[in-house]
Amino acid sequence: MAWKKITRNNVHIHSPLAWPLFDINGQLVYRRGTRPAAEHDFAQKLAEGLYQNDEMSDEELERILLGGVSALSHVQQFSARLQKTLLSFYQGNKNEFNFIPSNLANLAKDIMKLNENNIDAILGAVHLDKSGDYFYRHAVDCAIICDIVAKRLDYDKNRRRELCCANLTANVGMLPIAKTIEQQTTPLTLEQRAEIHKHPTRSVELLKYAGIESTTWLKAVEQHHERANGDGYPAALRGNDIIEEARLIALADTYHALINARAYRDKFFPMDALKELLTKGSTDIDQEISKHFIKEIGIPPPGSIVKLACNEIGVVTSRANKLGNYAVMSLIQRDGKPYSVPLARDTGNETYAIRGIYHPKLPIRINFLDVFGAVA
């Protein structure tokens, strides 16, 4: 096999790696698709020695890459796993019911593991991919977003796991009526409003019945629709009477609902949704947490469509680096024609500086593999 030592000239640090890179012992260091600019220790690893093997077959690569499953595939699979588990609250046999706590704990563990790498690609998937059943994708996407912020807030692993589990199960009490409400274009009836107001308590009852005893998990679910100004439900709690985990879930829940279309309204573009959250900051949303939230998911977040100074249109593929620059993959040329292959742009170069958020009239087709590399 032809091992080749990589030098700085072999790598475009803002583009996804075309090949995985290994250390001198053949241990995988960076997966294919990793963006070197997003790795804080890339320069050091490069100095220690990084090697590629371009004769390695795709099969060998897949095996080495721990199954080679991308961030996007992971998110989609998590959603399918959650669907199976939440349905067993209502229709599972006794055996499946007994596995609810461990299935949820394993799912939370896998979400946390995914969030150890590729956060830009994961956020790209959250913002751009709308596949799967919304009810479950919403729960998984909110769990991912909350966990990213929880890491910033230095939650320990146990606290992060409980937060993930609370996100995954907060709305289980609403599952029987969720589809109807999701597709409804008329105002909610009084009965529906009453049902909605009961769902946090109903979720807690179901979780307790399934054997969940964690106080924080249950409290976060019970309080996830409480609001800082006392306008929430079911107990109209205020401010710090609402635990931080519940305030975090409330924020992710509101943001994620905004960036997804409803039967009665279009979706918000990510930056517009963030603005909406900021303007609500003084009333029902926790302002302090909003600041961490916005900083951690990015302004604009990966997956945002932007216009560059040179009039190209591209998609943001990283959060800002220390210099405040973003990686963007340019999709549309200045004359309006699409690039056949997206081109990596660094917004630190003033030709490619972000000039504004682009609101396409028609959806732009984005190939995740081209844009985020194999990790997406």
Q: Shortest gap between Cβ of 248 and Fe ion (angstroms)?
A: 13
**Sign of CA pseudo-dihedral 79, 149, 299, 43:** negative
* Residue 83 found at the interface with Fe ion (CB under 5 A): no
24: exposed, middle or buried (Cβ count in 10 Å: 0-12, 13-18, 19+): exposed
- Please report, in angstroms and rounded to a whole number, the separation of the first and last CA atoms in the chain: 28
Stretch near Fe ion under the rule CB under 5 A, chosen from 60-68, 80-88, 171-179, 229-237? 171-179
* C-beta closer to Fe ion: residue 120 or 253: 253
Q: Shortest gap between Cβ of 240 and Fe ion (angstroms)?
A: 21
- Strand, coil or helix: what is 262? strand
Q: Shortest gap between Cβ of 258 and Fe ion (angstroms)?
A: 15
CA distance 233 to 200: 8
Query: What's the token pair of residue 19?
Result: 């090949």
* C-beta closer to Fe ion: residue 230 or 234: 234
Q: Are 292 and 274 in contact (CB under 8 A)?
A: no
Q: What is the CA radius of gyration of the chain?
A: 22
**Sign of CA pseudo-dihedral 272, 295, 251, 115:** positive
Q: Shortest gap between Cβ of 113 and Fe ion (angstroms)?
A: 26
Q: Are 375 and 324 in contact (CB under 8 A)?
A: no
Q: Shortest gap between Cβ of 170 and Fe ion (angstroms)?
A: 5
The enclosing H or E element of 277 equals: helix 270-279
Q: Which of 74, 221, 217 is nearest to 140 (CA)?
A: 74
* C-beta closer to Fe ion: residue 127 or 199: 199
The enclosing H or E element of 344 equals: strand 338-346
* C-beta closer to Fe ion: residue 37 or 250: 250
| Contact residue for Fe ion among 115, 118, 171, 347 (CB under 5 A) | 171
* C-beta closer to Fe ion: residue 169 or 171: 171
Stretch near Fe ion under the rule CB under 5 A, chosen from 100-108, 170-178, 239-247, 341-349? 170-178
Q: Shortest gap between Cβ of 203 and Fe ion (angstroms)?
A: 8
CA distance 88 to 127: 29
Q: Shortest gap between Cβ of 199 and Fe ion (angstroms)?
A: 6
* C-beta closer to Fe ion: residue 171 or 290: 171
CA distance 107 to 113: 10
Binding mask 129-168 for Fe ion (x = CB under 5 A): ----------------------------------------
* C-beta closer to Fe ion: residue 148 or 168: 168
Q: Shortest gap between Cβ of 168 and Fe ion (angstroms)?
A: 12
Q: Shortest gap between Cβ of 221 and Fe ion (angstroms)?
A: 9
* C-beta closer to Fe ion: residue 162 or 346: 162
Q: Are 261 and 183 in contact (CB under 8 A)?
A: no
Helix, strand and coil in the chain, % to nearest 5: 50, 10, 40
288: exposed, middle or buried (Cβ count in 10 Å: 0-12, 13-18, 19+): exposed
Instruction: Kindly report the backbone phi and psi dihedral angles of residue 290, in degrees, each rounded to the nearest multiple of 5, phi listed first.
Output: -55, -40
* C-beta closer to Fe ion: residue 164 or 375: 164
Determine the residue with CB nearest Fe ion: 171
Q: Which of 121, 232, 214 is nearest to 169 (CA)?
A: 214
For Fe ion, how many residues bind (rule: CB under 5 A)?
1
* C-beta closer to Fe ion: residue 102 or 183: 183
Cis, bond preceding 338 (omega within 30 deg of 0): no
Q: Shortest gap between Cβ of 171 and Fe ion (angstroms)?
A: 4
Query: What's the token pair of residue 366?
Result: 């984005």
* Residue 34 found at the interface with Fe ion (CB under 5 A): no
Q: By the criterion CB under 5 A, which residues form the site for Fe ion? A: 171
